[in-house]
A and B are shown apart, each in its own frame.
Chain A
Amino acid sequence: LAKTTQPISMDSYEGQEVNITCSHNNIATNDYITWYQQFPSQGPRFIIQGYKTKVTNEVASLFIPADRKSSTLSLPRVSLSDTAVYYCLYFSGAGSYQLTFGKGTKLSVIP
């Protein structure tokens, strides 16, 4: 299974930039790194995906170093509505489909 490690929880004040780092030491050459956001009692929502270097969209930025063994999700100027659980994961094909969600990082944004 594709195993990732990320902090269990983080707190941030409104307006600050939040960086959540995830380690994925066993990532394979063809795997893409993906981040999801989940609010209570809702399904996860895709945020951003990347393969290497930096990817930016209207929601977040994703930084991936050259060795790809970690990635950092950056949320600029968070608001209270960004309070959610954030999951880092990657597709581990290897002949059998498994998109494995870990425990995620619970981000609490404080006024």
Chain B
Amino acid sequence: ETGVTQTPRHLVMGMTNKKSLKCEQHLGHNAMYWYKQSAKKPLELMFVYNFKEQTENNSVPSRFSPECPNSSHLFLHLHTLQPEDSALYLCASSPSTGGPGANVLTFGAGSRLTVL
């Protein structure tokens, strides 16, 4: 399997649930990202990891907790979310976070999250 794979594709959860989104890339990239896309809003960068180390946390609420065990896997742990957190969550990877390669992201298909 190639590219960036996200699971699950769709998730419905209550505000008291705990769930996780998973992202896996088979491109040999060193940087991975979480973006959030709400209806009719631009993509919002949430977290950046470079060589497993978090390099950016874009003022994301603590109810979103990322985890990057290695350069190929990225998780987003969710707990006590709010209905306004319903969105498409996109994972991406790139060769690096610096230089021309930093502009070239490969995105997954996204996980559509609905919080009831």
Contact = CB atoms under 8 A, between A and B. Distances in A.
For the complex, would chain A's binding face be called helix, strand, loop or mixed by DSSP majority?
Answer: loop
Interface stretch (B12-20, B41-49, B66-74, B75-83): B41-49
A49 interface: yes
A89 B42 CA distance: 12
Interface residues of A, number: 23
A44 B110 CA distance: 10
19 contacts: A34-B104, A41-B109, A41-B112, A42-B109, A43-B90, A43-B109, A49-B100, A49-B103, A90-B103, A91-B103, A93-B102, A99-B45, A99-B102, A99-B103, A99-B105, A101-B42, A101-B43, A103-B42, A104-B42
Interface residues of B, number: 26
Given A41-B110, A43-B109, A49-B103, A96 B56 contact: yes
A7 to B, nearest CB: 15
Interface of B: 4, 33, 35, 42-43, 45, 48, 55-56, 88, 90-92, 97-98, 100, 102-110, 112
Contacts of B90: 43-44
Contacts of A45: 107
Nearest to B40: A103
Given A41-B88, A42-B109, A93-B98, A34 B45 contact: no
A31 to B, nearest CB: 8
Contacts of A56: none
